Structure 1
Amino acid sequence: MLKLAERMVISFYAGVSASTTHTWTTLSGTGADDVQVMTRKSVDDLGRPLGIVLSVATSFLLPVPPKRVFEFLRDENSRNEWDILSNGRIVQEMEHITNGRDTENCVSLLRVNVA
């Protein structure tokens, strides 16, 4: 599970990292509310189908400390408040694997309860 999590993190960073080949383009907005898009072709990504990968990003300022935001995002009890994939349903942590001495450095397997 840790190897899968590592692959997912690497894939995420590859998806949002611009290069001279893959650059971000402003889709809409002005200033801090810009929506950026980037496309790339998936041709040799191990375990992924061939095709176009679309990444979309924006940023905004939250007037709270970063640690508080991190704790909110990693708390499975608050996940149904912000995660569109949970669709407002309860999220349950099925497995919690700590990686290293710091208990906050972990991988969790989550499940959305469906009635």
Structure 2
Amino acid sequence: MDERQLLNDVLDSILNEEYDSFDQLLFENYFESIIDSEDLTRIKTDNYGDAGNDYIFFTYNRKLILNIEDLEELQKEEKGSRIDLYFVQIKDTVKLDSGVPNKFIEFSNNLLSGTTPSHYNEEVN
């Protein structure tokens, strides 16, 4: 058994025993201080027209912003400003389809130019 197979077997075991999905494993281990598991459905974009993103969210001073009221409330309370944008693509495969990075490149170009193509789903728009 090679190292990659061993790692995959360990991850599969942990995933099957402790998590409902690979997404939950990722968010609970890497974004736990920012996102509660019940908020995952609010930031999920994974669907047809997702522009190569499974999740899109941003934080203001490391606090998750889900709507404009969240931002207005934080602006009153805190000094300084740090905005972090997160674009997450989750793949549970050995091989990456070339369409995935191409969709993300298109999305990035459209985001920077302010263009909103009609083929993006509501969550991305």
Taking structure 2 as the reference length, the TM-score comes to 0.23
Q: For CA contacts below 8 A with separation 6 or more, give which structure has more relative contact order.
A: 2
Structure with the larger helix share: 2
Taking structure 1 as the reference length, the TM-score comes to 0.24
